[in-house]
Structure 1
Amino acid sequence: MRILVADAFPDEYRAELTAHGHDCTYVPDTTGSELPRTLTGHDALIVRSTTVTADAVEAADSLRLVIRAGSGTNTIDVDAAARHGVHVCNVPGRNAVAVAELTMGLLLALDRNIPDNVADLRAGHWDKKRYSRARGIHGRKVGVVGLGRIGLTFAERVAAFGAGVHALANPNRDEQTRERARAIGTVFVDSLDELARSCDVLSFHVPATAGTRLMVDRHLLAQLPPGAIVLNTSRGDLVDEDALIDAMESNGVRAGLDVYADEPAAGTGTVDSRLAKHPNVYGTHHIGASTEQAQHAVAAEVVRIVTAFASAAPSDAPPHCVNPDAVERAVAASFPTSTSSGGRP
């Protein structure tokens, strides 16, 4: 297959794709607006943060597979891909440790005021009296919203610091998740409001969906105790940013954030965010999954997806495909009598 790799991707895994007989075009700085004119002739597309719009999908003449080298697919127009018979896959779970580590780092930074410590020391200011004030993590109640791979991995780490983990009850959780949650003494509650009222830290680890958009709103923030901490390392559109600013100013809420509603799509650029500039916020640059360990784990899974897709029958969906049924319907509508089989070119 001809594969366009439109974001940074480790050299050894591109070499592995080439060794498997694929023709890789590596343009890691490709922007979403450039994709429509660069996808021509490519069967597969690998992206990380590059946006894949309906225009890009429609302009592609042979595209059959899009892989997001990460856990979400909110930067990809999955519906447009399905209409054109394009499978969309993600790589869930391989970056869980990296995101959990950053979330833990933000929590510790907020509790001990680490960034301000560093800034003052570099500026020549010594203020031990101010920076000696910290509550500590041990014994605190930490609400984890979303016990998927990332949320559960974070929960295990914060429990190791002696915090009490609280989460929403969910009868549909698999037994492995239940067992891991029980092992760290997770306390389950029935509603998000109850979680906010009973915890002084809320950490969000849910995907961007219609149901999670703006879930951190004025109502929820009003349930938090004074001085509570909000952590968001998932998606920016979970948070009503104006409401969070108001809660910080009226109730002393603090926030550790890796994502923002209007963050730049490119790897570098300028940002003008009231929320990111607020003194009660310690923020990072959407780097949750950006450890070397995580990127290698993700890249290895991308290679596995490509290999499985290339060798499967055309009717088979690749691993971690998020739109298999829609693609199947689109293909059936285009080729109602097709009975072809065998691997893909």
Structure 2
Amino acid sequence: MRILIADKFPETFIQQLKENNIDVIYNPKLGEKDLPEAAKDVDCIVVRSTIVNAETIEKGTNLKLIIRAGAGVNNIDIQAANKKGIPVSNCPGKNAIAVAELTIGLMIALDRRIPHNVIDFKQGKWNKGEYSNAQGLFGKTLAIVGFGNIGKEVAKRALAFGMNVYAKDIVKVEFDGVKEFSNFEEVLPIADVISVHLPATSETKNLFNENLFNLMKNGAIFINTSRADVVDEDALINAVKEKNLKVGLDVFKGEPEEKTGTVSSKLQELENVYVTHHIGASTEQAQTAVAEETVRIILSYVKDGTVINRVNKK
């Protein structure tokens, strides 16, 4: 079996694949435009954030399996894979703790304005009076939208902080200490923090629009570490300006696919918006867990054709 790994992947697990007589091509610098040529003769493609488009799938004459080394599969053209009968698999839950940790980190950073503190110090400014008026998170109300693996890990940490936690999901929320809500009108007006953990689907596209932002209280913290498509970015920008929302994002519209380079976004102009570099799952612990699951999927397929965690139709 010949496998192309088109994103960063731990060397230990590459060696494990090779020890199982699997031919591994490792090129973590490949982008969407490079994949059609690079993947045309491989049996399996493994990606993290690199886009696997229809052209790549169509030109993959030997392609038998696509693995997303992570949870969401919105960077893979599922429809094109379905047309060719190619299974698509993922690694659900393996990066949940890492994303939850970043989510909590953004909450604290926004409340205490940690980046602003550091920048002022680096520039030789001392503004203790300016930064001595944080609200604190204890006793504050958190609304978690999307209560899957990541949402649950966020809830655990928020409860430990003494927060009052509400959650909404497509299935019933059953979690000690967490209150379920069904209508945004119930909770958004009282939420001090809103954290989004949703997949990108036709139902969630631009879910957070002008109407939902209008429900939020002035000065609330809004965090999205899931997918950029779930937020109407123009409506978000208006809410920051008009309602003084404090915003933490690990994803945004027009995010560069390359690992390094330049970036340009209207969000850069906003004082109350902190944007990280889509690093939610990028801890060594998470990448090890994801790599272990990816290897498990590959070896299972090699052994008897079983596709673990298949996400598309058979």
**Same fold? TM cut 0.5:** yes
Give the deviation of 1:312 after TM superposition.
Answer: 1.7
Give the deviation of 1:169 after TM superposition.
Answer: 6.3
3-state secondary structure, aligned to 2:130: helix
Give the deviation of 1:277 after TM superposition.
Answer: 3.4
- TM-score between both structures, scaled by the size of structure 1: 0.89
Aligned residue for 2:99?
99
The correspondence for 2:208, drawn from 207, 210, 216, is 216
CA separation of 1:207 and 1:64: change in aligned 2, threshold 3 A:
same
Which residues of 2 match residues 165-244 of structure 1 at below 5 A? Answer: 165-168=165-168, 172-173=171-172, 178=174, 181-182=175-176, 185-244=177-236
Which residues of 2 match residues 1-345 of structure 1 at below 5 A? Answer: 1-168=1-168, 172-173=171-172, 178=174, 181-182=175-176, 185-313=177-305, 316=306, 318-325=307-314
What letter matches 2:72 in structure 1? G
Structure 1 stretches of 4+ moved >6 Å: none
- Partner Cα distance (1:267, 1:239) in 2: 23
Judge conservation of contact 2:36–2:60 (CA < 8 Å) in 1: yes
- Partner Cα distance (2:119, 2:207) in 1: 33
What letter matches 1:133 in structure 2? N
- Partner Cα distance (1:189, 1:69) in 2: 32
Give the deviation of 1:80 after TM superposition.
Answer: 0.3
- Partner Cα distance (1:213, 1:268) in 2: 27
For structure 1, the 5+ residue unaligned runs are 326-345
Judge conservation of contact 1:98–1:294 (CA < 8 Å) in 2: yes
Give the deviation of 1:60 after TM superposition.
Answer: 0.8
Give the deviation of 1:283 after TM superposition.
Answer: 1.2
Judge conservation of contact 1:9–1:299 (CA < 8 Å) in 2: yes
- Partner Cα distance (1:193, 1:259) in 2: 25
What letter matches 2:304 in structure 1? A
Judge conservation of contact 2:98–2:281 (CA < 8 Å) in 1: yes
- TM-score between both structures, scaled by the size of structure 2: 0.97
CA separation of 1:130 and 1:50: change in aligned 2, threshold 3 A:
same
What letter matches 2:244 in structure 1? G
Q: How many residues align?
A: 314
For structure 2, the 5+ residue unaligned runs are none
Give the deviation of 1:269 after TM superposition.
Answer: 2.3
What letter matches 2:312 in structure 1? N
- Partner Cα distance (1:277, 1:234) in 2: 22
Aligned residue for 1:334?
none
Judge conservation of contact 2:66–2:88 (CA < 8 Å) in 1: yes
RMSD of Structure 2 on Structure 1 (CA): 1.2
Kindly, what percent of the aligned residue pairs are identical? 45
Judge conservation of contact 1:168–1:195 (CA < 8 Å) in 2: no
Judge conservation of contact 2:146–2:169 (CA < 8 Å) in 1: no
Give the deviation of 1:158 after TM superposition.
Answer: 1.0
Give the deviation of 1:189 after TM superposition.
Answer: 1.7
Judge conservation of contact 1:167–1:195 (CA < 8 Å) in 2: no
| Larger helix proportion of the pair | 1
Give the deviation of 1:190 after TM superposition.
Answer: 1.9
- Partner Cα distance (1:195, 1:234) in 2: 20
What letter matches 2:313 in structure 1? P
What letter matches 2:133 in structure 1? R
Give the deviation of 1:202 after TM superposition.
Answer: 0.5
Judge conservation of contact 1:167–1:188 (CA < 8 Å) in 2: yes
Judge conservation of contact 1:233–1:257 (CA < 8 Å) in 2: yes
3-state secondary structure, aligned to 1:197: coil
